[in-house]
Each structure stands twice: as C-alpha cells, then as structure tokens.
Amino acid sequence: MLFHKKRENILNTVNKESRFLRVLQFLIGVMILASAFNLFILPCNIVYGMSGIGVILNKATGISPSVVILAGNVILLIVSFIILGAEKTRNTILGSLLYPLFVELTAWMPEYIEISMNEPLLVALFGAVIYGFGAGLVFKSGFTTGGTDILNQIVSKYGKMSLGNAMIFTDGLIILFGIFVFGVTKAMYSIINLYIVSLMTDKIMIGISSTKSFFIITDKEEEIKEFIMDELGHGVTVLKGEGAFSGHKQSVLMCVIPTREYMTVKEGIHKIDKDSFFVVSDAYEVNGNK
C-alpha cells in the first residue's frame, strides 16, 4: 500500500512538472497533423483513420472533412466512455475535439501554399513524413487525436487481437472503402503512406538510435574487455549468466557503442574469438556514466 501511494506521488510529480511542455508539444503536433492533412492527405485522396473517412465523404458528398472527423470522434468518444471506461477515454477527449478544429482552421493553406500534383507519389510520401512527425509529437506528449485510435482499442479488446492487428483491420477496411471511391492506385498510395507514418511516428517517439548495445558471451573475456576498454575507450559491464539447459555459469559482457563504431567492434570480437556469441540491439537512450 505504501509503495502504491509512493508510486502515485512520483507519477503525479512527473506529470505536474512536465505538463506545460507536454501540452505545448501536443498543440504543435496537432497543428502539424492538421496542416499535413490539408496540404497533402486531402489533395492526394489518402485514406486511413478517421481522416480517411473525412476524405471519402468529402469526395462523395461534399461535406467538410472537419465536420466528418468531429462527428466521428464524438461518436467514438461516447462509445469509448461506455465500453472502455472514463480512465481510458480521458486523454482522448482533448485531441478528439482539437484535431477537427485545427483541420478547419488550416483549411485555407492550400490556397496560399501551392503544391504541384505532377508527382503525386512524391507529394504523398512527403506528406506521410510530415503527418508522422506530427503524430509522433502527439503520442509522445501522452495524448491521442481519438478517432480510430479508440476503435482500435475496442476491436483489440473484443476481437481478441493485438492492437497492431486491430489497426491493420480497421485501417484496412477504410482503405478498402476508398478503393470504390478513388480506385486501386490511390489505395496503394494510402498503404505506403500509412506505413511511412507509422515508422516516422515511432522515430519521433523513441528517437533515432545513435548507439548500439552489445551482449557478448565469450571464452576470451579478458581480451575482449581489453579491446573495448583500452583500444576503443568504452566501458564494459560484466553480468553473471547461466545456461538454462547446461547450467554452465559464464559472464556476459555488456557495453554501449556509438553506431559509427559498430563494424569495428563486431569485426574486433570476431578476430579475438570467432566462436563468440553476441547480440546487438539499438540503444535509443543512454543515461549516466557508470
């Protein structure tokens, strides 16, 4: 109970200290999303998410995309409150209302910022990068823009599938409907656009890895430690490991290396011990100097 209260106090302190910056980052992200929608997504007829439904209905009926997005978001907020509860709905309310508002406020941009559609694929790809950048800022701030984010959670919960598969399912249906309005080519643009948006969103949220972490199992522990520490000037941590099958106890060397030195370390380890076993992964953030 005491730990639970302490954990809540830490969480509240963190949220309070960073709230202004998170809200500012959220507002910038929503503005970028809305601008990218009006400059790239809508002109290229890219369809996925609630924005995609706005594009489809705008083309089919002439209704303003912002109105469609707002109506859809409000409906999904009500459904979310009923099915997912108030806690999971709370951080979605602000984005669900502000995103369509910003879409309406930035609707003037195509009139003053002329983007040639002679290369629609290039425009769609560039739009995906900008849109993904904005989405990354929104998610990194701890908010969402609602829409199909809510629908994905509901499908995941009741469809007994992962959130990733739920996203594929819901966006796949929207893209499928888009085929009947815009044709197969635009649907292919939408798929490529969606993929790049997801990649860009991840990069903004967790950053671009500038370092690699190595976990090394070797019989020539001292030589490899000397190579990394003395010749390359990087620290090494020795972890105690044990083979689950054999029960054999052996040290595991862990170190973090700049990405530019990846090949040097890899080849150096092979030169010292060609039978060594090591795992390399991206390290997105490194704190401390011990």
pLDDT range class, residue 157, cuts 50, 70, 90: confident
Count other Cβ atoms within 10 Å, centred on residue 120.
16
Residue the block writes with tokens 């859809």? 72
What's residue 260's pLDDT?
78
User: CB-based contacts of 67: which residues, under 8 Å, 6+ apart?
Assistant: 100
Return the closest-CA partner of residue 25 out of 139, 107, 102, 150: 139
pTM of the model: 0.74
Look at 160-169, 228-237, 273-282 and tell me which has the smallest mean pLDDT: 160-169
By the 8 A CB rule, do 25 and 141 touch? yes
What's residue 288's pLDDT?
64
pLDDT range class, residue 3, cuts 50, 70, 90: very low
Count other Cβ atoms within 10 Å, centred on residue 177.
16
pLDDT tens digits, 8-58: 565 465 556 567 788 898 999 999 999 999 999 999 899 988 999 999 999
What's residue 149's pLDDT?
81
Higher pLDDT, 206 or 100: 100
The interaxial angle of helices 120-140 and 2-36, nearest 10 deg, is 160
What's residue 129's pLDDT?
92
| CA distance to 12, 72, 237, 251, per residue, from 175 (Å) | 40, 17, 49, 51
Count how many Cα atoms sit within 13 Å of the Cα of residue 185 in the half-sphere of its side chain: 4
Q: What strands, in cross-sheet order, belong to the sheet with 211-217? A: 237-242, 249-258, 211-217, 277-283
The interaxial angle of helices 148-158 and 86-105, nearest 10 deg, is 150
Residue 146 has pLDDT above 90, yes or no: no
Secondary structure tally for the chain: helices H, strands E: 11, 4
Cα dihedral sign, 41-46-49-55? positive
pLDDT mean over 249-277: 86
Residue 85 has pLDDT above 90, yes or no: no
Side chain identity at 266, as an amino acid letter?
A: K
Residue 195 has pLDDT above 90, yes or no: no
User: CB-based contacts of 257: which residues, under 8 Å, 6+ apart?
Assistant: 211, 212, 213, 214, 228, 232, 234, 265
Higher pLDDT, 11 or 224: 224
By the 8 A CB rule, do 37 and 110 touch? no
pLDDT mean over 139-164: 79
